[in-house]
Amino acid sequence: MCRPPDEDERAAAHARLFCPTLVRAVLRWLGRLGVPLCHRGDVAGQVWLNAWESWPRFDPKRGRPERWLNAITVHAASHYHERAQHRREELVDWIEVFDPAPDAAAVMECDNIRTSTIDAVNELDPELRLVLVAHDLNGVSMAKIAEDAGLPLSTPYKRRTKAIDALRDVIRLREAREISTYGVTL
């Protein structure tokens, strides 16, 4: 089957146009047209998109495909520069972004503190521990604790106060032991 000469010319032009050599040529042309290197890839993408969209209207009798692509490149660069006049960029120094994730040492320290706190709570008198864990860790109201234990409301509050004082004493004793054992000063 033989194609009309017009279609043969378009097929040859298509093969010449969409090849790696012209991809590099478009980037080179954009450089000569004053498009900064950091924006050249984006503008080149726009050139190829425009070329693909207007390919059905390309007529090989009017000129070489390279010249047609160059005209599209000049047009895209011109639009880039028009938009650049309206662009307001304020250059600032690099901003150091805070990484909210703790590092390994912080994670280990946090785990050590949590473990030693749990151990200290476990050393408390069971009555004191019950009120402290139920209210402060599990969020149970003091009225509910008093009702479940069959106590007046003031008793759980007193036990919680005693539990907090006892917990402070246990933690102070542990710290004193660590200082005497390891010679660490806080």
CA distance 48 to 80: 14
Range of the domain at 147: 104-182
Question: Does residue 66 share a domain with residue 136?
Answer: no
Domain annotation covers residue 95: no
Angle at 164 between CA 158 and CA 167, to 5 degrees: 135
Q: What's the number of domains the chain is made of?
A: 2
Residue labelled with tokens 């604790």 = 145
Asked if 134 and 160 sit in the same domain, the reply is: yes
Do 173 and 117 belong to one domain?
Answer: yes
How many angstroms separate the CA atoms of 151 and 156, rounded? Answer: 8
pTM: 0.42
Inside any domain, residue 92: no
Per-residue pLDDT, averaged over 80-91, amounts to 73
124 touches 152 (CB < 8 A): no
Query: What angle in degrees, to the nearest 10, is found between the helix axes of 154-182 and 142-149?
Result: 100
pLDDT band at residue 113 using 50, 70 and 90 as cut-offs? confident
Average pLDDT over residues 55-69: 83
Residue 168 to residues 29, 68, 124, Cα–Cα distance (Å): 74, 82, 11
pLDDT tens-digit series, residues 41-58: 899 989 988 888 888 888
| Chosen domain end from 86, 117, 137 | 86
Residue 134 and residue 19: Cα distance in Å, rounded?
Answer: 73
Residue 50, Cα to own-chain centre: how many angstroms? Answer: 33
Predicted pLDDT at 2:
46
Q: Is residue 96 part of a domain?
A: no
Count of positions (residues) in the chain: 186
Which of 86, 112, 136 represents a domain boundary (last residue)? Answer: 86
In a domain, residue 169? The reply is: yes
The yes-or-no verdict on residue 4 having pLDDT over 90 is no
Per-residue pLDDT band for 89 (boundaries 50, 70, 90) equals low
List the CATH number of the domain containing 138: 1.10.10.10
> Do 109 and 176 fall into the same domain?
yes
At residue 33, the pLDDT reads 92
- What three-state secondary structure class fits 59? coil
For residue 162, which phi and psi values (nearest 5 degrees)? -65, -40
Average pLDDT on 76-102 reads 76
